[in-house]
Amino acid sequence: MIFFEQMGKFKTLKTTSTSFYKEKGSKFYGYAFPINTIEDSKTAYERVFEEHPKARHICTALLLGSGDNEYYLLDDAGEPSNSAAAPMLGQIRSHEITNVYLIVVRYFGGTKLGIGGLISAYKTTASQAIENNIIITVEPQSSLTFEVDYEALGDILSVIDRNNLKVTQEHNNKGVKITLQCKSAELAAIKDLFAPYGISFL
């Protein structure tokens, strides 16, 4: 499932970033990934696991979509409940971004941090990973494809020209296959432009 196609404009991360935090001997390695699917997060996790095959705690927080289409997934990976993944998710929310996957790897340093110490450490590591990145605004794009015969082509091209639509054309013996590129938020309005011509979208 691809979540960005269900949203309007949103903020996310530009690239992958990392962070490092140390508290009372415990070492925390943070990773922040921009993602669009659950499969993206699995790929990211495998990459981090390969770097830290002996780590006992690889905690994760994932947020995809927004509003009614929001989906999140948390894993404390053996840490006390809500001491790791929840504060990590909180940092995603506080930075007002989505389609983000955070991973924090912890190596125990010999001194227990307590619940409060763990929450603070995971929160800090996650925040630094995000702040070491660049937040960008994404406006999802969609496409519409339909076929039109040569007799109706003139009217269709007039609609395209009047509305400055971006298209590609594939000509054949029967007519033209047209593919429109547009912002996802404008999809319904663009379909309405062609309604008077009885266009069926593929």
Q: What is the pLDDT of residue 193?
A: 93
Domain containing residue 174: 141-197
The verdict on 84 and 47 lying in the same domain is: yes
Domain count, the chain: 2
Q: Which of 121, 138, 155 is the C-terminal boundary of a domain?
A: 138
pLDDT in tens, 24-58: 999 999 999 999 999 999 999 999 999 999 999 99
Measured CA distances, 61 to 40, 94, 102, 174 (Å)? 13, 14, 5, 52
- Beta-carbon contacts of residue 62 (< 8 Å; ≥ 6 apart): 35, 38, 41, 71, 72, 73, 74, 100, 101, 102
Q: Using pLDDT thresholds of 50, 70 and 90, give the confidence band for residue 7.
A: low
- Beta-carbon contacts of residue 10 (< 8 Å; ≥ 6 apart): 4, 66, 97, 98, 99, 137, 138, 140
The verdict on 26 and 74 lying in the same domain is: yes
Q: Which of 117, 138, 159 is the C-terminal boundary of a domain?
A: 138
Q: What is the pTM of this model?
A: 0.76
Q: Is residue 202 part of a domain?
A: no
| Phi and psi torsions of 56, nearest 5° | -85, -25
The verdict on 59 and 34 lying in the same domain is: yes
Handedness of CA 42, 48, 49, 51 (dihedral sign): positive
Q: Is residue 98 part of a domain?
A: yes
